[in-house]
Structure 1
Amino acid sequence: MGYEDLPDTLTDALRARGLLVELSRADREDPSAAHFAAHSPEPSECLRRLRNATVGILGLGGTGSVVLQHVIGSGITRLVLADMDTVSASNLNRQFIYSTDDIGRKKTVAAADYVSRRVSEPLVTLVEALIASGRDLVQAMRPVDLLFCCIDTPVGKLGEILAEYRHSTGSATIQGDVGVQFGSFGPLEVGTEGLRDARHARSGREAAGMPTPWSFGPTNTLVGAMMAKQGIEWLAGIPKSPVERQRKIIRF
């Protein structure tokens, strides 16, 4: 029995008091529906927003590949995927979208194939560009609803680069990083948020630890999953809490 089967007078009264969770019959089969119903009285609207969203992922390594898995799992199919690297054997301990058959292939191409195997009719744009400044990012990455920044260089400049991108495109961004003993993710910032403080803020990588030549699967998965959760819920229309406006540091 759904809310459509209740008398109109009862549903109107429940709706007026914000006590009615409205989920269309078609959306009841969506495995994410119950999660959004716990956070919103309109979970069907949350799912609709995700289906219409365009997401960019800058860096398809240890965190970016995990973000991609959760993004497409939430129903998002409009993607801009950016990376310059090729898949190597050393990636496979934490970048689970790739297999041994992908070694030597461009990460963007291998990631797009991964999406195509799991999503019906995705719209995927691939970007290969060196990002050393905000101008580089603006030129390489078209405006998106949310950009997940999962790269670790240039160290000390990513906050400023992302702020310039937000200011120029109106897009939202979220950043995540993984070190040996610490990881970080957030904040999720929109438009000109964070622009004034970007030059003085430490990058997420500086907070988590300097880039290392090694990486550990569970820590990358943890940070990537938490980034994805925060970003997906925001895209679905769940308001940011004051805590989500801050960078979160995780001690491993």
Structure 2
Amino acid sequence: MTSINLRQGLSVLQPGKDLMIGLMPPAALAVEDAPDYLRHVLSAFSRPVPEAEALATVTAHSDLGVEEAGRLLSELRCAGVLTTHWVDREERYSRHRLYFGVAGFEGDPMAVIRNSTVGLIGTGGIGSNVAMMLAAAGVGRLVVADADVVETTNLTRQFLYTEGDVGTPKVEALARRVAERNTEVRVDVVNDVFDGPDFAVRHFADCDLVILSADTPQDVHRWLNEASVRTGVPYTCAGYLDTMGIVGPLVVPGRTACLECHFADTGLASFNGGDLETTDFTDYNQAYQAPSYGPLNAMVSAAAVNDTLRFLLGLPARSLGTKLLLDSIEYGVQTEEYERNAACGSCGTGGAGGTGLREEALSGAV
């Protein structure tokens, strides 16, 4: 039997004459000069009320007639204040259920999340933190690929690993740590080097989304883009340059621009007049070591996981077709939109992506 209740993630306060439902926009709303009965009606729905008794509950706590009570019920449900989903506060994922309810997801988010498979290429400062958050969120299956071992220099930012993991293959340490955190999550490990698009097709073709956080070799982005177009599997990128974090673009074949669309539009395919794949990127600083910073890694990882979960749930994902640049010093966000190119040789109507798109690949695109 269906019941109706006040959405548990929304507080109801009355500081004066106005009734505040929720604490912050966009979820919150204010009812100016709220009638006295409204807080009593909402309080009555703090527990599940059988749908057949909802009208009677409103009339019992107000001076409204049946027609007016029905209109109020309809308005409260349309505004997302009342819902048919009751959350057991003692259940493992209850706080996430409450969050997604306030964020606009109507239904059981865990029914989607626990049946999702996410691929991770790279399990370093971003990939390992992404894995930890996805596992904590209850994503049913992770496919993780990396050929590195844990080093002491990793421990400043790769929070999943411990000193006891030093010298252990990262994917093995990750699988063990995830199992300690959540036994409901299956982890498939690929202790091998990402060496081309066929690698991604072979290991990630059944994923709902792939997250790329590896930065070498230099062609990893183009390899994953090609594999994505071939299989229809969406992917996103997460990384950093100096003090700036990078999230996205989230690429959905057949819906958004792919990487080759962007290269064609910006002229990057002929970098400095040469072919991108043959251009010499020699760094003349022979002592160069890319800086990496734990808080920046955490910022990027959190943003990537947030958009991953939103995408899986069909909620708007800000990085869809867009690269986000996160400033770790000023906390500003810059965006770079990727425009789809119908003539793209990779995903356009004349390219490899013109056929074979998985229907379900668009399920999370909004």
- Give the TM-score of the pair, scaled to structure 2: 0.60
Identity over the aligned pairs, expressed in percent? 26
For residues 227-242 of structure 1, the aligned pairs below 5 Å read: 227-241=304-318
Report the secondary structure of 2:83's partner residue.
coil
**Match in the other structure for 2:144:** 81
Q: Which amino acid aligns with 1:161?
A: W
Q: Do the aligned partners of 2:238 and 2:246 also contact (CA within 8 Å) in 1? A: yes
CA distance in 2, matches of 1:160, 1:15: 48
CA distance in 1, matches of 2:292, 2:202: 30
CA distance in 2, matches of 1:25, 1:235: 20
| C-alpha displacement of 1:194 | 2.5
- Quick one: which of 141, 157, 161 aligns to 1:94? 157
Q: Do residues 37 (structure 1) and 101 (structure 2) align?
A: yes
Q: Do the aligned partners of 2:128 and 2:158 also contact (CA within 8 Å) in 1? A: yes
Structure with the greater alpha carbon radius of gyration: 2
Report the secondary structure of 2:142's partner residue.
strand
Report the secondary structure of 1:112's partner residue.
helix
| C-alpha displacement of 1:142 | 3.5
Unaligned runs of 5+ in 1: 203-209
CA distance in 1, matches of 2:300, 2:158: 13
Q: Do residues 5 (structure 1) and 49 (structure 2) align?
A: yes
Change (3 A) 1:2 1:170: same
Report the secondary structure of 2:156's partner residue.
coil
**Match in the other structure for 2:120:** 57
Q: Deviations over 1:163-189 (max 9, x none)?
A: 212112221111011122222111111
For residues 8-157 of structure 1, the aligned pairs below 5 Å read: 8=52, 10=55, 13=74, 17=78, 19=80, 20-26=82-88, 29=91, 30-44=94-108, 46-155=109-218, 157=219
Change (3 A) 1:216 1:37: same
CA distance in 2, matches of 1:224, 1:114: 17
Q: Which amino acid aligns with 2:84?
A: E
Q: Do the aligned partners of 1:80 and 1:127 also contact (CA within 8 Å) in 2? A: yes
Q: Deviations over 1:105-150 (max 9, x none)?
A: 0000000001110112422111123223222321233320011111
Change (3 A) 1:5 1:54: same
Name the one with the larger helix percent.
Answer: 1
Q: Deviations over 1:173-221 (max 9, x none)?
A: 110111222221111111243335154476xxxxxxx994442111111
Q: Do residues 169 (structure 1) and 245 (structure 2) align?
A: no
Change (3 A) 1:168 1:219: same
User: Higher relative contact order at CA 8 Å, sep ≥6: structure 1 or structure 2?
Assistant: 1
Q: Deviations over 1:7-51 (max 9, x none)?
A: 33659846974644332445774111121011225141x221111
CA distance in 2, matches of 1:56, 1:87: 20
Q: Which amino acid aligns with 2:234?
A: A
| C-alpha displacement of 1:83 | 0.6
Change (3 A) 1:41 1:15: farther
CA distance in 2, matches of 1:7, 1:126: 47
Q: Which amino acid aligns with 2:137?
A: S
Change (3 A) 1:99 1:26: same
Unaligned runs of 5+ in 2: 6-47, 56-69, 269-282, 329-366
Report the secondary structure of 1:177's partner residue.
strand
- Quick one: which of 290, 295, 299 aligns to 1:218? 295
Q: Which amino acid aligns with 1:128?
A: N
CA distance in 2, matches of 1:101, 1:227: 28
Report the secondary structure of 1:31's partner residue.
helix
Report the secondary structure of 1:190's partner residue.
coil
Change (3 A) 1:221 1:17: closer
| C-alpha displacement of 1:96 | 0.6
Q: Do the aligned partners of 2:257 and 2:321 also contact (CA within 8 Å) in 1? A: no
Change (3 A) 1:66 1:131: same
Change (3 A) 1:14 1:150: same
**Match in the other structure for 2:245:** 183
Change (3 A) 1:79 1:27: farther
